[in-house]
Chain A
Amino acid sequence: MLVNLQGPWSPLLGRLAVSQIPYENPILVGTFVLVVALGMAILGAVTYYGKWGYLWREWLTTVDHKKIGIMYILVGLVMLLRGFVDAAMIRSQQAMAVGPDSAGYLGALHGYLTPFHFGQIYTAHGVIMILFAATPILVGIMNIIVPLQVGARDMAYPYLNAVGLWLTTAGAALVMTALFIGDFAHAGWFGNLPLNELPYSPGVGVDYWIWAFQLSSVGTTLGGINLIATIVKMRAPGMTWMRLPMFTWASLSANIISLTSFPVLTVSLALLSLDRYLGTHFYTAGMGGNLMLYNDLFWIWGHPEVYFVILPAFGMLSEIIPVFSEKTLFGYTGMVLASFGIAGVSWGVWLHHFFTMGSAPDVNAFYSVSTMLVGIPTGVKVFNWLFTMYRGRLRFELPMIWACAALFFLLVGGMTGMMNAFTTNDYMVHNSVFVVAHFHLMLLLIVYAIFGAVNFWFPKVFGFKLNERWGKWFFWLFTAGTATVFIPMFTLGFMGMTRRLDYIPYAQWQPLLDAEMAGIVLYSLSAVYLVAQLYVSLRDRALNRVGADAWGTSRSLEWATPSPVPFYNFAYIPHVNARDEWAWRKENGIAQLRHDRYEGIHMPKNTGVPLVLGALSLVLAFALVWRMWWLAALCLAGIVILVIMRSFAKDTDYIVSPEEVKRVEDALWAGTHARGTEAEGGRGRGAVGGGLSPAHSPSAPK
Chain B
Amino acid sequence: MSASASEIIDPAKVHLWDRGHHGHDVIGTRTFGFWLYMLSDAMIYAALFASYGVLSHVMNMAGGPMPGDVIRPGYAFGETLALFTSVLAYGYAMAALRQGRAGGVAGGLLGAMIFGAVFLGLVGKDIGDLFAQGITPERSGYLSIFFTLVIYHALHIVVGLLWMLVMLVQLVREGFTGNVVYRLVNLKLFWHFQAVVWVFVFVFVYLQGVIA
Interface residues on B, range: 35 or more
- B60:A290 contact, CB within 8 angstroms: yes
Interface of B is mostly: helix
- A578:B3 contact, CB within 8 angstroms: yes
**Residue B208 interfacial (CB < 8 Å):** no
- In whole angstroms, how far apart are the Cα atoms of A99 and B210 in the complex? 61
- B40:A578 contact, CB within 8 angstroms: no
| A-B residue pair count with CB separations less than 8 angstroms | 184
Q: Given the known A-B contacts A280-B148, A290-B141, A574-B18, are A243 and B1 also in contact in the complex, defined by CB atoms under 8 Å?
A: yes
Q: Per a CB cutoff under 8 Å, which of B20, B43, B179 touches A260?
A: B43
**Residue A263 interfacial (CB < 8 Å):** yes
* Nearest chain B residue, comparing its CB with the CB of A286: B62
**Chain A binder among B30-38, B93-101, B192-200:** B30-38
**Residue A293 interfacial (CB < 8 Å):** yes
- B19:A572 contact, CB within 8 angstroms: yes
Task: Kindly supply a per-residue 1/0 record for chain A positions 548-590, scoring 1 wherever the CB is within 8 Å of any chain B CB and 0 otherwise.
Answer: 0000000000000000000000001111011110011101111
- B19:A264 contact, CB within 8 angstroms: no
**Residue A595 interfacial (CB < 8 Å):** yes
Identify which of residues 215-231 in chain A touch chain B, using a CB-to-CB cut-off of 8 Å.
221, 224-226, 228-229
- A332:B51 contact, CB within 8 angstroms: no
Q: Given the known A-B contacts A233-B28, A572-B19, are A156 and B33 also in contact in the complex, defined by CB atoms under 8 Å?
A: yes
| Chain B residue contacts of A694, Cβ below 8 A | 5
**Residue B133 interfacial (CB < 8 Å):** no
| Chain B residue contacts of A599, Cβ below 8 A | 19-21
**Residue A251 interfacial (CB < 8 Å):** no
| Chain B residue contacts of A226, Cβ below 8 A | 33
Identify which of residues 261-279 in chain A touch chain B, using a CB-to-CB cut-off of 8 Å.
261-264, 266-268, 271, 274-275, 278-279
- B17:A267 contact, CB within 8 angstroms: no
Least CB distance, B84 to chain A, in whole angstroms: 26
Q: Given the known A-B contacts A229-B29, A234-B29, are A259 and B41 also in contact in the complex, defined by CB atoms under 8 Å?
A: no
Identify which of residues 31-71 in chain B touch chain A, using a CB-to-CB cut-off of 8 Å.
32-33, 36-37, 39-41, 43-44, 46-48, 50-51, 54-55, 59-62, 64
* Nearest chain A residue, comparing its CB with the CB of B51: A293
**Residue B145 interfacial (CB < 8 Å):** yes
- B3:A590 contact, CB within 8 angstroms: no
Interface residues on A, range: 35 or more
| Chain B residue contacts of A282, Cβ below 8 A | 51, 55, 141, 144-145
Identify which of residues 6-30 in chain B touch chain A, using a CB-to-CB cut-off of 8 Å.
7, 9, 11, 14-21, 23-25, 28-30
| Chain B residue contacts of A289, Cβ below 8 A | 55, 60, 141, 144
* Nearest chain B residue, comparing its CB with the CB of A229: B33
| Chain B residue contacts of A221, Cβ below 8 A | 40
**Residue B183 interfacial (CB < 8 Å):** yes
- In whole angstroms, how far apart are the Cα atoms of A577 and B18 in the complex? 12
Least CB distance, B7 to chain A, in whole angstroms: 7
**Residue A648 interfacial (CB < 8 Å):** yes
Least CB distance, A230 to chain B, in whole angstroms: 9
- A590:B14 contact, CB within 8 angstroms: yes
Least CB distance, B52 to chain A, in whole angstroms: 10
- A293:B54 contact, CB within 8 angstroms: yes
Least CB distance, B139 to chain A, in whole angstroms: 8
- B44:A263 contact, CB within 8 angstroms: yes
- B21:A573 contact, CB within 8 angstroms: yes
**Residue B86 interfacial (CB < 8 Å):** no
Identify which of residues 166-183 in chain B touch chain A, using a CB-to-CB cut-off of 8 Å.
166, 170, 179, 183
- B141:A284 contact, CB within 8 angstroms: yes
**Residue A18 interfacial (CB < 8 Å):** no
Q: Given the known A-B contacts A225-B40, A293-B55, A595-B17, are A281 and B5 also in contact in the complex, defined by CB atoms under 8 Å?
A: no
* Nearest chain A residue, comparing its CB with the CB of B22: A602
* Nearest chain A residue, comparing its CB with the CB of B60: A288
* Nearest chain A residue, comparing its CB with the CB of B40: A263
Q: Given the known A-B contacts A288-B59, A297-B47, A599-B19, are A588 and B7 also in contact in the complex, defined by CB atoms under 8 Å?
A: yes
Least CB distance, A278 to chain B, in whole angstroms: 7
Least CB distance, B147 to chain A, in whole angstroms: 8
Least CB distance, B114 to chain A, in whole angstroms: 21
**Residue A683 interfacial (CB < 8 Å):** no
- B33:A264 contact, CB within 8 angstroms: no
- In whole angstroms, how far apart are the Cα atoms of A274 and B48 in the complex? 13
- In whole angstroms, how far apart are the Cα atoms of A221 and B138 in the complex? 31
- B16:A575 contact, CB within 8 angstroms: yes
**Residue A644 interfacial (CB < 8 Å):** yes
- B19:A584 contact, CB within 8 angstroms: no
**Residue B206 interfacial (CB < 8 Å):** no
Q: Per a CB cutoff under 8 Å, which of A229, A232, A278, A577 touches B138?
A: A278
- B148:A274 contact, CB within 8 angstroms: yes
- A271:B138 contact, CB within 8 angstroms: no
**Residue A505 interfacial (CB < 8 Å):** no
- A288:B61 contact, CB within 8 angstroms: yes
- In whole angstroms, how far apart are the Cα atoms of A191 and B140 in the complex? 22
| Chain A residue contacts of B51, Cβ below 8 A | 267, 271, 282, 293, 297
* Nearest chain B residue, comparing its CB with the CB of A572: B17
**Residue A103 interfacial (CB < 8 Å):** no
Least CB distance, A700 to chain B, in whole angstroms: 4
| Chain B residue contacts of A288, Cβ below 8 A | 55, 59-62, 64, 140-142, 144
- In whole angstroms, how far apart are the Cα atoms of A647 and B142 in the complex? 40
| Chain B residue contacts of A156, Cβ below 8 A | 24, 29, 33
- A572:B18 contact, CB within 8 angstroms: yes
* Nearest chain A residue, comparing its CB with the CB of B44: A263
- A281:B7 contact, CB within 8 angstroms: no
| Chain B residue contacts of A236, Cβ below 8 A | 18
Least CB distance, B200 to chain A, in whole angstroms: 15
**Residue A100 interfacial (CB < 8 Å):** no
Least CB distance, A506 to chain B, in whole angstroms: 41
Least CB distance, B32 to chain A, in whole angstroms: 6
- A287:B3 contact, CB within 8 angstroms: no
**Residue A328 interfacial (CB < 8 Å):** yes
| Chain B residue contacts of A233, Cβ below 8 A | 24-25, 28-29, 32
| Chain B residue contacts of A232, Cβ below 8 A | 32
Least CB distance, A252 to chain B, in whole angstroms: 12
Least CB distance, B90 to chain A, in whole angstroms: 19
Least CB distance, B42 to chain A, in whole angstroms: 8
* Nearest chain A residue, comparing its CB with the CB of B173: A648
Least CB distance, A10 to chain B, in whole angstroms: 24
Q: Per a CB cutoff under 8 Å, which of A228, A262, A264, A574 touches B16?
A: A574
- A332:B2 contact, CB within 8 angstroms: no
**Residue A157 interfacial (CB < 8 Å):** yes
**Residue B137 interfacial (CB < 8 Å):** yes
- In whole angstroms, how far apart are the Cα atoms of A264 and B45 in the complex? 9
Least CB distance, B204 to chain A, in whole angstroms: 16
* Nearest chain A residue, comparing its CB with the CB of B1: A579
- In whole angstroms, how far apart are the Cα atoms of A332 and B2 in the complex? 11
| Residue among B40, B59, B142 with most chain A CB within 10 A | B40
**Residue A633 interfacial (CB < 8 Å):** no
**Residue A346 interfacial (CB < 8 Å):** no
| Chain A residue contacts of B61, Cβ below 8 A | 288
| Chain A residue contacts of B25, Cβ below 8 A | 233
| Chain B residue contacts of A266, Cβ below 8 A | 44
Q: Per a CB cutoff under 8 Å, which of B4, B5, B41, B138 touches A280?
A: B138
Could you list which residues of chain B lie within 8 angstroms of chain A, going by C-beta atoms? Answer: 1-5, 7, 9, 11, 14-21, 23-25, 28-30, 32-33, 36-37, 39-41, 43-44, 46-48, 50-51, 54-55, 59-62, 64, 137-142, 144-145, 148, 162, 166, 170, 179, 183
14 A/B residue pairs, CB under 8 Å, sorted by A: A225-B36, A229-B33, A232-B32, A267-B44, A267-B47, A275-B144, A281-B140, A300-B47, A583-B2, A589-B11, A590-B9, A590-B11, A599-B20, A644-B166
